[in-house]
Amino acid sequence: MARPPGDAQYSHVQALSRGLALLHALNQAEQGWASIAELSAHTGLHRTTVRRLLETLQADGYVRRSASDDSYRLNLKVRQLSDGFTDDEWIGEVANPVLGELLQQLVWPSDLCTPDGDCMLVRETTHRFSPLSFHRAMIRQRMPMLFTAAGRAYLAHCSDDERRHILQLLAAGHDEQASFARQPALVEQMLDKMRRQGYASNEGEWQAQQKIGAIALPIRHQGGILACINVVFLKRALSVPDAAQRYLPTLQAAIARIEAQLQASPAAGRRGGSIAEG
């Protein structure tokens, strides 16, 4: 006797449903990543089951694990399934290898940062691998926009509308950035300096990191600013002008490699929404 249309002819494959549930949970994760504990809580699956499924998905190329904090995120292969892939995964696929090369050339650590509301969020870093690092746990650290090289690089080169929105957000706050953001003439003077010198910098203006200096450049893609990369150093070791003279050409070359790869594969750097150093 023939089964009615749509009637299941085979038993439910629970493992497949669980794997799809994990992919869905990662796709919905607020920051594009999640830990095993968070995925377990979201899906109701036991942590051991979550880990086993993630290892299978990683082996098949659909997810990847961050070596820095053991979190998981979707991999580029997910694009073969749908357009639901989080658009910032270019960081792992394109930028991460270039950051590794940058570390080998400069030794000083670098961070790749994207805007996160009124701060810059460290998305990838070489701090944990640099023998000159003074902060090992930098992943997902939030850094002030107005007092860091990465934040200044972003503000100096993002669109006027985005800059206005960010500065309004900063001015409404109650921290040390707020009073500075409420002085638009001083802010514009600082950003003009960043543009004129050809790189953004800070020399210890961030009160929490007064011993730290940094230089930074933006990553440009499709007419906008996708992220910023800095080079971080101790002020007692060298000045900002000395750092720029020594390291800026290498940083510029690293940025150019990333931009070229993004240009060759535009979907890898497509932005999916709005988007500590020095």
Q: Which residue has the higher pLDDT, 249 or 264?
A: 249
Residues 124 and 259 in one domain: yes
pLDDT level of residue 162 (50, 70, 90 thresholds): very high
Among 151, 134, 146, CA closest to 236: 134
Residues 202 and 147 in one domain: yes
Residues 58 and 103 in one domain: no
Residue type present at position 126: T
Residues 123 and 242 in one domain: yes
Q: Give the count of domains, the chain.
A: 2
Report the side by side order of strands in the sheet with 33-34.
33-34, 72-74, 63-65
Determine the Cα–Cα distance for residues 11 and 4; give it in Å rounded to an integer. 16
Residues 73 and 136 in one domain: no
What CATH number is associated with residue 234?
Answer: 3.30.450.40
Mean pLDDT calculated for residue range 102-109 = 96
Burial of 113 (C-beta count, 10 Å sphere; 0-12/13-18/19+)? buried
Do 254 and 262 meet the contact criterion of CB atoms below 8 Å apart? Answer: no
Strand partners, 83: none
Which of 60, 79, 98 is where one domain is finished? 79
Do 254 and 102 meet the contact criterion of CB atoms below 8 Å apart? Answer: yes
Which of 31, 56, 79 is where one domain is finished? 79
Domain membership of residue 22 (yes or no) is yes
Residues 73 and 109 in one domain: no
Do 104 and 128 meet the contact criterion of CB atoms below 8 Å apart? Answer: no
Residues 35 and 172 in one domain: no
Among 231, 240, 238, 278, CA closest to 105: 231
| 15-30: b (≥16 Cβ within 10 Å) or e | eeebbebbbebbeebe
Give 75's contacts (C-beta < 8 A, 6+ positions apart): 58, 61, 62, 63, 64, 89, 92, 93
Domain membership of residue 84 (yes or no) is no
**230-245 pLDDT per residue, tens:** 999 999 999 999 999 9
Residues 192 and 125 in one domain: yes
Residue 276: DSSP 8-state: -
Residues 69 and 150 in one domain: no
Which of 52, 79, 106 is where one domain is finished? 79
Domain membership of residue 147 (yes or no) is yes
Determine the Cα–Cα distance for residues 66 and 50; give it in Å rounded to an integer. 16
Cα angle 271-67-146, degrees, rounded to a multiple of 5: 50
**43-86 pLDDT per residue, tens:** 999 999 999 999 999 888 888 888 667 788 887 576 556 433 34
Domain membership of residue 4 (yes or no) is no
Report the side by side order of strands in the sheet with 224-234.
142-144, 119-125, 111-116, 224-234, 212-221, 200-202
Residues 99 and 217 in one domain: yes
Determine the Cα–Cα distance for residues 83 and 56; give it in Å rounded to an integer. 21
Domain membership of residue 275 (yes or no) is no
Residues 226 and 162 in one domain: yes
Domain membership of residue 3 (yes or no) is no
What CATH number is associated with residue 29?
Answer: 1.10.10.10
Residues 73 and 106 in one domain: no
Among 111, 106, 116, 144, CA closest to 128: 111
pLDDT level of residue 268 (50, 70, 90 thresholds): low
Mean pLDDT calculated for residue range 4-9 = 50
Interhelix angle for 47-59 vs 14-28, to 10°?
Answer: 80
Domain membership of residue 251 (yes or no) is yes
Q: Tokens 């995120």 — which residue? A: 73
> Does pLDDT of 38 surpass 70?
yes
Note the pLDDT of residue 85.
38
Domain enclosing residue 48, as ranges: 14-79
Domain membership of residue 2 (yes or no) is no
Strand partners, 234: 212
